[in-house]
Amino acid sequence: MTISSSDLEVCAWLKSQTVHDAFEFLRNVESEPYEHPYGFTVVRIRHRVLPGWQVRVHFWPPKDQQFARMDRNSTIDQQVHAHGWRICSVVLVGELDEQTHRVDEVTWSDWALYSVASDYTTGSSRLDLVQGNIASAIVKQEIRAAGGGPYMIPTGVLHSTTAAHNRPSVTLVATELAGTVMSTVVAPARGDHVVNDRRPSRDLGRIRDVLGNGAS
């Protein structure tokens, strides 16, 4: 049985999901898991209960490992970003550090706003310069923990997400498919174009272990 894709129903469905459900979802992986440039692993699930939304399992390695991955990917200074679609997430295991940001135009800054175009064929994302001379500032910070319920990140809201501690975390995520707004990233000005590669991930077994331990 399918349900409509209103925000409340999407979040209600996520609220009803358990660690065991996420473990079972991993039997129906839609495509090869990949490591996001921001150091976490994305597993797309073949699941159609939410029309207009895609279901994913996100694996967040311990904080030091996530930052080591971002350092390797040269993305530590690209964490502030906004999506062109809505995202509803629930933390099933562990804790995440979620920050909301704003940007201001300044004359002295060497930071810039880039648009993001993802290419799933080549496994990369391209950043295109939109505006220079900006600065970002944190306006809200929250620790999202297992048992805290689902939360929505609206379209266009600048935010950053990292593991909160040196232990792994897992989130179940619904991403809207019909987004029409440009996704953006705040980053140091490095020219008109920047390309970030997505790496194949070997974390699937590790995710199963974390979920299995969380269900016990």
Residue 94 Rama label (left phi>0; alpha psi -120 to 50; beta): left
Please say whether the beta carbons of 109 and 86 come within 8 A: no
Task: Tell me which CATH code domain 7-215 carries.
Answer: 2.60.120.10
* The pair of three-digit structure tokens given for residue 38, joined into one six-digit string: 């921001």
* The pair of three-digit structure tokens given for residue 78, joined into one six-digit string: 């690209």
Distances (CA, A) of 202 to 33, 35, 146, 215: 8, 9, 24, 22
Query: Is the per-residue pLDDT at 166 higher than 80?
Result: yes
Query: Is the per-residue pLDDT at 119 higher than 80?
Result: no
3-class SS letters over 121-170: CCCEEEEEEEEEEEEEEEEEEEEEECCCCCEEECCCCCEEEEECCCCCEE
pLDDT exceeding 70 applies to what percent of the chain? 95
pLDDT category at 1 given cuts 50, 70, 90 is: very low
Residue 190's pLDDT is what?
87
* CA atoms of 112 and 130, how far apart (whole Å): 7
Strand order in the sheet with 151-153: 151-153, 87-93, 169-176, 53-60, 41-45, 34-35, 199-200
Please say whether the beta carbons of 117 and 194 come within 8 A: no
Query: Is the per-residue pLDDT at 211 higher than 70?
Result: yes
* CA atoms of 115 and 82, how far apart (whole Å): 9
Residue 4's pLDDT is what?
46
Query: Is the per-residue pLDDT at 19 higher than 70?
Result: yes
Query: Is the per-residue pLDDT at 150 higher than 90?
Result: yes
Instruction: Give the mean pLDDT of 196-205.
Output: 93
Higher per-residue confidence, 191 vs 158:
158
Q: Alpha helix locations (H) across 17-142?
A: 19-25, 63-73
Residue 51's pLDDT is what?
87
Higher per-residue confidence, 21 vs 8:
21
Q: Which range is least confidently modeled, 48-57, 66-75, 100-109, 117-126?
A: 117-126
Instruction: Give the mean pLDDT of 191-200.
Output: 90
* CA atoms of 50 and 87, how far apart (whole Å): 13
Q: Which range is least confidently modeled, 25-29, 191-195, 201-205?
A: 191-195
Instruction: Give the mean pLDDT of 102-129.
Output: 87
Reduce the DSSP state of residue 71 to 3 states and report it: helix
pLDDT category at 29 given cuts 50, 70, 90 is: very high
Residue 122's pLDDT is what?
62
Q: Please count the residues of the chain.
A: 216
9 CB contacts (<8 Å, ≥6 apart)?
Answer: 3
Query: Is the per-residue pLDDT at 89 higher than 70?
Result: yes
Residue 12's pLDDT is what?
93
pTM, 2 dp: 0.92
